[in-house]
Amino acid sequence: MTRIAFIGAGSIVFSKNLVGDILSFPELSDSEIALMDIDEHRLAQTTNVAEAMVEQGDVDATIESTTDRREALEGADYVLNMINVGGTEPFENEIEIPRKYGVEQAIGDTLGPGGVFRGLRTIPTMLDIARDMEELCPDALLLNYTNPMAILCWTMFEETDIETVGLCHSVPHTASAIAEYIDAPQDELDYWVAGINHMAWFLECEWDGLDVYPLLEEAMEDPETYEKDTVRFELMKHFGAFVTESSHHLSEYLPYFRTDQEEIDRLTGTQSAGRMPTATYLEGWKERSEDRDNALAEVDPDEVSIERSEEYASRLIHSLETDTPRRLNLNVSNETDAIQNLPSEACVEVPCLIDGTGVHPCSVGKLPSQLVSLIRTNVNVQQLAVEGAVNGDRESIHRAIKLDPLTAAVCTLDEAHEMTEELLEANAEYLPELT
């Protein structure tokens, strides 16, 4: 019987989807699923739904529910990490303080001041989880869903003995978008994608044996299609490849798109996928807070059923447990030089072969020079953020922010320094000790 621990299970919709994914495989339908969250109310909602899925799906899984992390981790084979540390207050600081300095972040959870500081406040808890795992389930695989993906996974690779992979749905989401733009069935696309989380590139993409890039270039000429994904089409036009992140999220990882309000307005377009205003995710987070507390009003336990979503976690677990070969894009250490022109210590998102023997990153070779150059600007920030967090080094954090592409596009070095000091002071209670 496979034991799977969910850490941060209070997000009812995401947890429901992942539980349903696991139960959808007959070989995993008798799993022990341990749901853990520090919020008793939200945990109870998720537990209610998970138990209903087991009962109504007539499967033999066992659902446990606890606010004790160590209890959930005891004897686990797999640990799914979905935590959020600090809640709304630091998140708001990470958006609004940089905004005063002209740093207009749309999301703020992956790179930039928001991503760095979200990483800083999350890393201590991630390391605590790893220490518990080293004691209670040392052979378990940690599947991380929490952002900033690269910063957190990089820390785990360097600072713990726990095998860690990062999971993100940006690759299948992007494949779905490409299929829509060229009017092709998504399941008929064949692709080879590599880079880093939220900046991986469709190096190859074929439909019925034909390269789809000419079709994408043709689709981009249609104004309605262009407005659905303005930033990604602009990058494809100038750098020659389609990237794995939505336009409004991607816009904050680069220096080109968020320094002028007229350009932000131009690129926002009329489609929701093209949104670019500042703080879109923060505002949505605050609006959804009440919904999260009253999730059972939206998710009726009597109506839930076992269905499989596009998320990778259950497929990964199923391959490892049943020796079923699969290829998934995962976030892993570059220690095998899967991408030869990125640092070996970096966290990269590459195709991985999974079977009963484990997770095996594929060799991608060298990325095209222009693509790896864009990636390195992000990796530089990630590396210094990790160094700052694990060494308690304030100066490394300052340097990470000063090297951030968006910050550097709008701030002087002194302004970036002042902004970082303000962020450090505002969020001190959530951060590791710094010298």
Would you kindly state where each structural domain of the chain is located, as residue ranges?
3-166
Strand partners, 360: 353
pLDDT at 295 over 80: no
User: Which residue, 382, 432, 391, is CA-closest to 110?
Assistant: 382
Structure-token pair, residue 277: 């205003």
Q: Provide the pLDDT for residue 185.
A: 96
- Taking 70 as the threshold, does the pLDDT of residue 217 lie above it? yes
pLDDT confidence of 157, banded at 50, 70, 90?
Answer: very high
Residue 321's alpha-carbon distances to 315, 317, 351, in angstroms, are 10, 6, 19
What count of Cα atoms within 13 Å lies in the side-chain half-sphere of residue 354? 24
User: What is the average per-residue pLDDT within 164-181?
Assistant: 96
Cβ of 210: how many Cβ atoms within 10 Å?
A: 10
pLDDT higher than threshold 70 for residue 274:
no
User: Residue 278: what pLDDT?
Assistant: 74
Instruction: Summarize the confidence of residues 258-268 as an average pLDDT.
Output: 84
Q: How many CB atoms lie within 10 A of CB 396?
A: 19
What pLDDT digit, counting tens, does each position of 50-101 carry? 999 999 999 999 999 999 999 999 999 999 999 999 988 999 999 999 999 9
- Three-state DSSP at 317 gives helix
Residue 230: pLDDT over 70: yes
CA–CA separation, 418 and 55 (whole Å): 56
Query: What is the DSSP track for 188-242?
Result: GEEEEEEEETTEEEEEEEEETTEESHHHHHHHHTSHHHHHHSHHHHHHHHHHSS-
CB 157 within 8 A of CB 126: no
Instruction: Say if residue 325 is preceded by a cis peptide, omega within 30 of 0.
Output: no
Who wins on pLDDT, 400 or 310? 400
pLDDT of residue 268: 77
Q: Is 249 a catalytic residue?
A: no
Sheet strands (E) in 299-428:
326-333, 347-355, 358-361
pLDDT score for 210: 96
The answer on pLDDT for 271 being more than 60 is no
Per-residue pLDDT tens digits for 239-261: 999 999 999 899 999 999 999 88
Among 428, 419, 434, smallest CA distance to 96 is for 419
Q: What angle, 0 to 180 degrees and rounded to 10, lies between the N-to-C axes of helices 369-391 and 394-403?
A: 160
Average pLDDT score over residue span 373-377? 98
Chain mean position to CA 374: 19
CATH numeric code, 3-166: 3.40.50.720
Asked if 107 and 129 count as a contact pair (C-beta separation under 8 A), the reply is no
pLDDT in tens, 197-215: 999 999 999 999 999 999 9
**Confidence check: pLDDT of 272 > 80:** no
| Beta bridge pairs of residue 191 | 205
Tell which wins on pLDDT, 279 or 305. 305
What mean pLDDT value characterizes the chain? 93
Catalytic residue among 41, 169, 198, 417: 169
Between CA 121 and CA 90 the distance in angstroms is 9
| 342 and 371 Cβ atoms separated by less than 8 Å | no
Sole residue written with tokens 């797999």: 78
- pLDDT at site 293: 62
In the block, which residue shows the tokens 């935590």?
Answer: 83
Sorting pLDDT into bands at 50, 70 and 90, what band is 105?
very high
pLDDT on residue 289: 67
Is the pLDDT at 296 greater than 80? The verdict is no
Distance CA 264, CA 256 (A): 10
More confident: 190 or 280: 190
What does the pLDDT average to over 217-225?
95
Q: Which residue, 254, 242, 263, is CA-closest to 181? A: 242
